[in-house]
Structure 1
Amino acid sequence: MNNKEGFFHKLKSLLGQSDSKKPSKYQYFILVFVLGVAFMLVSNLFSSKDNQTNDIVPTSSSSSNESTEVFKQEKGEKTGSISDYEAEYENQLKEVLETISGVGNVSVVVNVDSTETKVVEKNTVTGSQVTKETDREGGKREVEDQSTDEQVVIIQEGEKEVPIVVQTRKPEIRGVLIVAQGADNIHIKKTIIESVTRVLGVPSHRVAVASKKMKEDE
């Protein structure tokens, strides 16, 4: 009670009133206005503190191994250039096709897209962070942030570091042209196309077969 009376005495002294005089309407208005402003300031203070408290969930991570295509071999390396692959395919097809009955004097042109492709081992680490937020109206929401980090697995080989190669893929063949005697026969032409598509694993629309003209006797 003494504290409350002391508080009101201070207010009266600020308003210029003594115990014997009653406060005027104007002074009551000032008192109500001061109390209202103080209440609003205290309310905003607590509300802002609630908005700034976000719960951070520890980041969870997992590791896995993953393979991916990387650099292609350049010309002059042990695997050979594009022209070396094309020449190898051409020689093999010519040798095989000339053994087919009714087929002779075969010429082959093979067009490859690139040299071989190496697939290397990769470590993939994924993490996620969840942030919980609360607004002034009491609404809650969660914001999730995910991250992925990939690194090629490197090993020491002699004096240099090299990636771990898990697979080597042959170059993709863009097109094949076969010119041979006997290809004017529809059955022989069909046999040539089926042989090339099965051996090289290319679709039939990438294989063209034409009949070679006979050389005139001298």
Structure 2
Amino acid sequence: MVNKKIKHILNDLLSRKYIANILVILAISIMILIVSKDFSKKTSKTVYNNTENNISMTELTYKTDEERIEARLKEILEKIENAGEVQVMVTFEESTEIIPAFNTTKSSDITEEKDSGGGVRILNSENITETIAMNNGSNSNQVFILKEIKPKINGVIVVADGAKDLVVKEKLYNAVKTVLQIPGHKVEIY
């Protein structure tokens, strides 16, 4: 009798409808798993790309400052009589440092407590909150910049056709020192 019940239950479980339902559920589960992995991969790629873009923007600003100074210096040095064609390389100690403005909120609270025994306790609490000051423009928020510290120049190399002449070489040397306000040991003329 028990054997017949077990056989009947097993037959019901192994019927075609039950197996078909299990296969459908299994297929849906696998599809959900695959789709969720695709979403997680896309999210991580986006984060990576955003990080990459931030690095690129920093490098772009740094290279822009470097290239701008090199181009201006080249333009000035080529105007020196008999200097000829000039190439300039400027190296920096670090990149530009930007110091944002902050909105500072400071609050203090002094509380005096008296207990039943006649004792007095004074509590002094101070809370300081700083947030970066933002300018809410038309389409974007921009940070208020308090100060921008330009990078320090490590050295300058100038290669000029006219540097064979010592007078021209001296003029180029003095021009670089004067324009960039750097000591002579950081300048080489070839």
TM-score, normalised relative to structure 2: 0.49
Higher helix share: 2
TM-score, normalised relative to structure 1: 0.44
Q: Name which one, 1 or 2, has greater alpha-carbon Rg.
A: 1
Higher strand share: 1
